[in-house]
């Protein structure tokens, strides 16, 4: 199978979405939908052997969980800089009035 076919199967099975819900312990919110797409994009940017190796060893869930955890816990990740920080800023501005 090609890398795109493998990731397509993962997307059909909602692999990333299920892991994001487990890691964040929240239902998928609007910005988490975008976050899931960022993870799929990052997977598509990996080389073919990496993705094929993950599928061959059934370790794709662990690999994706590590990707998600790294993004969620970092204050320099695209998730934080593009969504969480901006959301906090908007909330603070609304509270100031």
What DSSP character marks residue 89? H
Dihedral angle computed from the Cα positions of residues 77, 56, 4 and 46, in that order, rounded to the nearest 10 degrees? 40
Q: In Å, what is the CA distance from 30 to each residue of 9, 38, 57, 61, 63? A: 23, 13, 32, 22, 23
Per-residue pLDDT reduced to its tens digit, 49-64: 999 999 999 999 999 9
- What is residue 74's predicted lDDT score, i.e. its pLDDT? 82
CB 77 within 8 A of CB 34: no
Per-residue pLDDT reduced to its tens digit, 56-88: 999 999 999 999 998 888 888 877 777 777 777
Per-residue pLDDT reduced to its tens digit, 21-51: 898 887 666 678 888 999 999 999 999 999 9
How far apart CA 78 and CA 68 sit, in angstroms, is 11
Q: Is 80 exceeded by the pLDDT of residue 17? A: yes
CA torsion through residues 78, 83, 81, 18, sign: negative
* Residues 6 or more apart in contact with residue 90 via CB below 8 angstroms: none
- What is residue 28's predicted lDDT score, i.e. its pLDDT? 62
Lowest mean pLDDT among 8-12, 18-22, 24-28: 24-28
How far apart CA 32 and CA 38 sit, in angstroms, is 9
How much is the pTM? 0.80
């Amino acid at each position: 199978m090609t890398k795109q076919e493998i990731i397509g199967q993962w997307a059909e099975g909602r692999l990333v979405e299920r892991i994001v819900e487990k890691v964040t312990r929240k239902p998928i919110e609007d910005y988490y939908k975008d976050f899931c797409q960022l993870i799929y994009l990052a997977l598509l940017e990996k080389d073919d052997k990496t993705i094929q190796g993950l599928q061959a060893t059934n370790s794709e869930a662990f690999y994706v969980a590590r990707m998600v955890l790294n993004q969620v816990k970092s204050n320099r990740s695209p998730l934080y800089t593009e969504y969480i920080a901006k959301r906090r800023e908007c909330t603070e501005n609304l509270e100031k009035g």
